[in-house]
Amino acid sequence: MSIPSDVSATVRGLQSIFQEQEMTENVHDSEGHGYLATFVGKNGRFAILRMHSHGLVTFDLQCLEGDDVVQVDNLLNALEKKLKALLDGNIQRIKRLPALIRGSDVDRYWPTADGRLMEYDIDEVVYEKDSAYQNIKILHSRQFGNMLILNGDVNLAESDLPYTQAIMGSGKEHYAGKEVLILGGGDGGILHEAVKLKPKMITMLVIDGCRKHMRKTCGNVLDNLKGDCYEILVQDCVPVLKKFAEQGRMFDYVINDLTAVPISTAPEEDSTWEFLRLILDLSIRVLRPGGKYFTQGNCVNLTDALSEYEKLLCRLSCKVDFSKEVVCVPSYMELWVFYTIWKK
């Protein structure tokens, strides 16, 4: 294997550090793409050192739980110091990333809607169960409180009042004396906030609810299926919406908290887009003249998906207009789009 002279000199300069750590080197054939070696230590450490021909140097170190953190830090410090000395004047940037913890009892890593990996300060699995419809997890975050995660997606945390306020119109609407329909919202946050506004009646359609472990979000509204101004129907919303439309039952506000806009416009997501269109059409049919339909969109970075949703609004059976608002939802760690829709 041929290694460029500058790479070869750098490798020789680093070898003493690995020898001091009693790590055995195994050089691999990179087929002309620089230098590639793995190092194995007696304490279970495993490292990969790669020097690309175009100048990028990467070093990945895997350690077992219980390894001496001070020793590991000293190794990384020694490597960084040596690289700076060997490549003096030729380094544009050195970046050391935090360690990823794999195989932990508590999963701390969850992706954002636009594909970035976030590490949460999760310290406890509060609840986990597969319902008839979805996988339900409630994890505790030191910053955000209990977090509801459905099918691997961060849904809502106890810190996320801005989400609930945004999907209800951000305090600009007058719910007093009005009839409200909530689709989904099994965390109870929308219902909890809506009952404070003294509506005439709230009807909520939900398939799963979490009244025990999200008390800061739902209060006590999920303790009973009926209250002074609300009724919770544990049913699939589609047949109920169709029945309401046939009966001529109308609402001043429809709040759809069932699902976000799909992140993809690929054909495999067609069924989800069709579901969104169906819910929109049925909801607009039960919306009184002058009424409003509220829903979430998705991450502000998903411009293609949001654009597709706005095109969908132009293809409904009834002509509608819409506005949108961008809100920072704390536990999402990204900006989120919310829509207000009304009949023309």
The residues that are catalytic are 257
Where do runs of H (alpha helix) occur along 251-322? 270-285, 303-313
The angle subtended at Cα 30 by Cα 26 and Cα 35, nearest 5°, is 65
The two tokens of residue 131 are 């319902």
Specify whether the CB–CB gap between 218 and 237 falls below 8 A. Answer: no
Half-sphere exposure of 313 (CA within 13 A, CB side): 22
Distance CA 273, CA 282 (A): 14
The 23-28 sheet, strands edge to edge: 23-28, 35-41, 46-51, 57-62
Specify whether the CB–CB gap between 111 and 91 falls below 8 A. Answer: no
Where do runs of H (alpha helix) occur along the chain? 5-20, 69-86, 161-167, 189-195, 215-218, 237-247, 270-285, 303-313
Beta strand pairing status for 35-41 and 46-51?
antiparallel
Distance CA 113, CA 132 (A): 25
Half-sphere exposure of 3 (CA within 13 A, CB side): 20
Distance CA 243, CA 205 (A): 13
